């Protein structure tokens, strides 16, 4: 990634003439960290327009008419291809620039005044320095384009936990995606008008169509810039994103706002912004439970969010697949909402066997990005069906056949190709998903992909023990790395790329919230669906069968089972896990739950090594947990 300060070779026209303009910041009333109301929004929009020089400014209302017009424009520009109206009604395929296909963690910055407030796990930049760099790249960056003003609410509009944002973007793809992923348009603007606080979020693809000298250049289907900045100012609650049109880099309500900025807001206001799915389990006898779960990428989060229970007594309904905001309620329980309104899910691996519910969700009104196109105008990706079609146009727009794939190993869909779809379309969406009050949590799961060592399920003894589980989540990076501790990545609370402040302070904040909740805090547990046997095959069937693990944990919560103590925590006692109808040998079950003290001493060393980077900021309670683990291991 190039830095924008050495942009002598910058091909983007227009920066030099106007680089002296400072980066605007919205007006805040004295004592307020966030701007409020429509006046401040109007002024900020005018200042951003003055810096970026768009041809036109459009305030988005979120209507279907507006969406249809933008979709037509995106088709005319070649960004969208309309899919076959019979096979996939009102759906589109976008192909991104091949160099703009994922979140860019190396260009994701936390700009806190004090470097220690960003902490050792974030890329820190000095805020003043970053503002100067951004002023330079944003100057004239929207020339020849339309600037869209996108008011949006994270959470049901007006709900007690909801928060408003305003994204300013020069990408119509972002506008139509934000309409799916958030509550976007008039209702959110009405909140701003009523005087609500709002988070400023500015985005430019970084490819102006007119140079300083007035020279014009043609647009491309997926404009972007090699120079990228995904910048966060947690103290000012501002987001500035430049150079990418893709996913979490550009849909600023998601990772940038609902996790990085929201985690800083949550720290200051006494709540939690988390990278978790959210589901409701309803028992045949009518009892209902709510479960949130944090997993790093590629651990089956969307599959668990849309679980079809192998145990007929449980019915699962979906509340969210990626982010939850958790607030201690007046009743002393922890209440959860999903701040998003859609799913931005990874397509490959989503299929009839692994996630039939997701496949049913995607039958109409979907934006697909970087999947393959079938000859009859539909879409395909690896894992959608067991056998690929005979011919496809791949995500790069080139011919693809199973033979080509066999020879070159080239996938038809990019591994990070995505679907963007409204949550309301999910056939098992919970009837209360749009209720701003949220749901009270009974259980929080932490998990990763671990071929060895980590048992199928371990319940924490108490909240502090659970925070230790969260702080030490780890996941193997690749199939080749599985089984080797050296190649695994620690991803605390699955928040490594998403925590907007010092991770050690974040651990401390979790401890403080638990202390406030006391006895009414949800149960915490660690799970691992990915343990392997000596022959290298998975010991646990996963998917629908994961309901058996949830069933045991919820019976533990209810006091129907007691579990048995292991050095790690509480595991199912003999016969407690409901395994009827499952072809699982006694040996495999024992292996799934086995705790090897020597291997766990090595694990404890690896956790300690990870914790060292946090120095004195690491909460004492976590050091104590590590010491207690070693003592129990003997």
Residue ranges of alpha helices (H) inside 84-183 are 115-118, 127-138, 172-181
Least spacing, CB of residue 313 vs Mn ion, in Å? 30
Terminal Cα-to-Cα distance of the chain (whole angstroms) = 48
Cβ atoms of residues 155 and 187 within 8 Å: no
Contacts of 28 (CB under 8 A, 6+ apart): 34, 35, 36, 40
Catalytic residue among 60, 111, 299, 426: 299
Least spacing, CB of residue 297 vs ligand OXD, in Å? 5
Residue 211, token pair as written in the block: 């140079």
% helix, strand, coil for the chain, step of 5 = 35, 20, 45
Q: Which is closer to Mn ion, CB of 144 or CB of 248?
A: 248
- Give backbone dihedrals phi and psi of 631, rounded to 5 degrees, phi first: -65, -45
Least spacing, CB of residue 1 vs ligand OXD, in Å? 18
Q: Which is closer to ligand OXD, CB of 247 or CB of 438?
A: 247
CB count within 10 Å of CB 1 equals 11
Contact partner, 248, from Mn ion, ligand OXD, none, Cβ < 5-8 Å per class: ligand OXD
Residue nearest to Mn ion (CB): 322
Stretch that binds Mn ion, among 118-126, 320-328, 409-417, 539-547 (CB under 5 A): 320-328
Contact partner, 563, from ligand OXD, Mn ion, none, Cβ < 5-8 Å per class: none
Stretch that binds Mn ion, among 67-75, 318-326, 359-367, 463-471 (CB under 5 A): 318-326
Q: In this structure, are strands 123-124 and 108-110 parallel, antiparallel, or unpaired?
A: parallel
Within positions 397 to 456, which residues make up the interface with ligand OXD, using CB under 6 A?
none
Residues pairing with 272 in the sheet: 326
DSSP type of residue 218: -
Within positions 264 to 303, which residues make up the interface with ligand OXD, using CB under 6 A?
297
Least spacing, CB of residue 323 vs ligand OXD, in Å? 8
3-state secondary structure of 552: helix
Least spacing, CB of residue 200 vs ligand OXD, in Å? 23
Q: Which is closer to ligand OXD, CB of 235 or CB of 297?
A: 297
Burial of 31 (0-12, 13-18, 19+ CB in 10 A): exposed
Contact partner, 146, from ligand OXD, Mn ion, none, Cβ < 5-8 Å per class: none
* Separation CA 130–CA 148 (nearest Å): 24
Torsion 515-518-522-524 (CA) sign: positive
Residues 560-579 as x/- pattern, contact with ligand OXD by CB under 6 A: --------------------
Within positions 20 to 39, which residues make up the interface with ligand OXD, using CB under 6 A?
none
Q: How many residues does the chain have?
A: 634
Contact partner, 103, from ligand OXD, Mn ion, none, Cβ < 5-8 Å per class: ligand OXD
* Separation CA 540–CA 542 (nearest Å): 6
Q: Which is closer to ligand OXD, CB of 413 or CB of 556?
A: 413
* Separation CA 330–CA 344 (nearest Å): 33
Identify which of 149, 175, 153 has the alpha carbon closest to the alpha carbon of residue 73.
175
State the number of binding residues for ligand OXD (CB under 6 A): 6
Q: Which is closer to Mn ion, CB of 111 or CB of 495?
A: 495
Residue with tokens 């980590």: 454
Least spacing, CB of residue 275 vs Mn ion, in Å? 6
Q: At what angle do helices 37-52 and 186-193 cross, to 10 degrees?
A: 110
Residue ranges of alpha helices (H) inside 255-328 are 262-269, 301-305
Q: Which is closer to ligand OXD, CB of 123 or CB of 235?
A: 123
Residues 511-550 as x/- pattern, contact with ligand OXD by CB under 6 A: ----------------------------------------
Residue nearest to ligand OXD (CB): 322
Least spacing, CB of residue 172 vs ligand OXD, in Å? 21
State the number of binding residues for Mn ion (CB under 5 A): 1
Contacts of 8 (CB under 8 A, 6+ apart): none
Cβ atoms of residues 278 and 339 within 8 Å: no
* Separation CA 499–CA 259 (nearest Å): 7
Least spacing, CB of residue 545 vs ligand OXD, in Å? 24
Contact partner, 232, from ligand OXD, Mn ion, none, Cβ < 5-8 Å per class: none
H-helix or E-strand containing 508? helix 503-517
Residues 314-343 as x/- pattern, contact with ligand OXD by CB under 6 A: --------x---------------------
Contacts of 9 (CB under 8 A, 6+ apart): none
DSSP type of residue 521: S
Least spacing, CB of residue 103 vs Mn ion, in Å? 9
Q: Which is closer to Mn ion, CB of 322 or CB of 442?
A: 322
DSSP type of residue 254: I
Residue 355: C-alpha distances to residues 213, 297, 361, 441 (Å) = 53, 16, 10, 24
Determine, following the binding rule CB under 5 A, whether residue 322 of this chain makes contact with Mn ion.
yes
Least spacing, CB of residue 275 vs ligand OXD, in Å? 7
Contact partner, 365, from Mn ion, ligand OXD, none, Cβ < 5-8 Å per class: none
Within positions 528 to 567, which residues make up the interface with Mn ion, using CB under 5 A?
none
Q: Which is closer to ligand OXD, CB of 342 or CB of 569?
A: 342
75 is catalytic: no
Within positions 440 to 499, which residues make up the interface with Mn ion, using CB under 5 A?
none
Q: Which is closer to ligand OXD, CB of 245 or CB of 248?
A: 248
Angle at 257 between CA 467 and CA 165, to 5 degrees: 140
Q: Which is closer to ligand OXD, CB of 305 or CB of 379?
A: 305
The footprint of Mn ion (CB under 5 A) covers 322
**Interface with ligand OXD (CB under 6 A):** 103, 247-248, 297, 322, 344
Which residues are identified as catalytic?
Answer: 299
């Amino acid at each position: 990634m190039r830095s924008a300060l050495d942009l002598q070779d910058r091909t983007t026209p227009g920066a030099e003439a106007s680089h002296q303009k400072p980066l605007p910041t919205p007006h805040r009333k004295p004592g307020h960290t966030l701007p409020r109301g429509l006046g401040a929004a109007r002024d900020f929009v005018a200042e951003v327009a003055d810096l970026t020089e768009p041809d036109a400014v459009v305030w988005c209302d979120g209507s279907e008419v507006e969406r249809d017009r933008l979709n037509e424009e995106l088709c005319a520009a070649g960004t969208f291809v309309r899919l076959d109206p019979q096979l996939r009604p009102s759906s589109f395929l976008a192909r991104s620039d091949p160099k703009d296909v994922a979140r860019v963690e190396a260009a994701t910055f936390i700009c806190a005044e004090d470097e220690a407030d960003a902490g050792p796990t974030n890329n820190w930049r000095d805020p003043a320095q970053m503002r100067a760099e951004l002023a330079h790249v944003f100057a004239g960056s929207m020339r020849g384009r339309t600037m869209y003003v996108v008011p949006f609410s994270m959470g049901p509009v007006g709900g007690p936990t909801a928060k408003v944002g305003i994204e300013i973007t020069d990408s119509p793809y972002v506008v139509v995606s934000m309409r799916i992923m958030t509550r976007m348009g008039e209702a959110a603007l009405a909140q701003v008008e009523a005087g609500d606080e709002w988070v400023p979020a500015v985005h430019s693809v970084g490819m102006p169509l007119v140079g300083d000298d007035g020279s014009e250049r043609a647009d491309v289907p997926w404009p972007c810039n090699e120079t990228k900045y995904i910048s966060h100012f947690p103290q000012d609650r501002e987001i500035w994103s430049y150079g990418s049109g893709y996913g979490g880099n550009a849909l600023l309500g998601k990772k940038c706002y609902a996790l990085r900025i929201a985690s800083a807001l949550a720290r200051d206001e006494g709540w939690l912004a988390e990278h978790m799915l959210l589901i409701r389990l309803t028992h045949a006898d009518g009892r209902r439970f709510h479960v949130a779960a944090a997993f790093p990428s590629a651990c089956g989060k969307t599959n668990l969010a849309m679980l079809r229970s192998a145990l007929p007594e449980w019915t699962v309904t979906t509340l969210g697949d990626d982010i939850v905001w958790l607030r201690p309620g007046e009743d002393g329980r922890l209440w959860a909402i999903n701040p998003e309104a859609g799913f931005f899910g990874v397509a490959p691996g989503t299929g009839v066997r692994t996630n039939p519910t997701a496949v049913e969700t995607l039958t109409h009104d979907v934006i697909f990005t970087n999947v393959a196109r079938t000859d009859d105008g539909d879409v395909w990706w690896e894992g959608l069906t067991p056998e690929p079609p005979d011919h496809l146009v791949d995500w790069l727009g080139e011919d693809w056949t199973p033979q080509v794939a066999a020879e070159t190993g080239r996938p038809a869909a990019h591994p990070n190709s995505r679907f963007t779809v409204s949550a309301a379309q999910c056939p098992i969406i919970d009837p209360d998903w749009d209720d701003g009050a949220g749901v009270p949590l009974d259980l929080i799961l932490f998990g990763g992909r671990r071929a060895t060592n980590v048992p199928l399920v371990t319940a924490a003894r108490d909240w502090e023990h659970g925070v230790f589980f969260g702080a030490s989540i780890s996941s193997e990076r690749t199939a080749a790395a599985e089984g080797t501790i050296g190649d695994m990545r620690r991803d605390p609370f699955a928040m490594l790329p998403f925590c907007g402040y010092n991770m050690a302070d974040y651990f401390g904040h979790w401890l403080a919230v638990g202390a406030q909740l006391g006895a009414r805090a949800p149960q915490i547990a660690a799970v691992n669906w990915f343990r392997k046997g000596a022959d290298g095959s998975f010991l646990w069937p996963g998917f629908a069968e994961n309901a058996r693990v949830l069933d045991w944990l919820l019976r533990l919560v209810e006091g129907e089972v007691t579990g048995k103590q292991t050095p790690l925590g509480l595991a199912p006692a003999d016969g407690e896990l409901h395994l009827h109808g499952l072809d699982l040998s006694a040996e495999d079950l024992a292996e799934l739950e086995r705790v090897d003290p020597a291997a766990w001493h090595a694990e404890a060393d690896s956790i300690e090594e990870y914790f060292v980077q946090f120095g004195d900021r690491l909460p004492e309670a976590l050091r104590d947990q590590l010491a207690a683990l070693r003592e129990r291991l003997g």
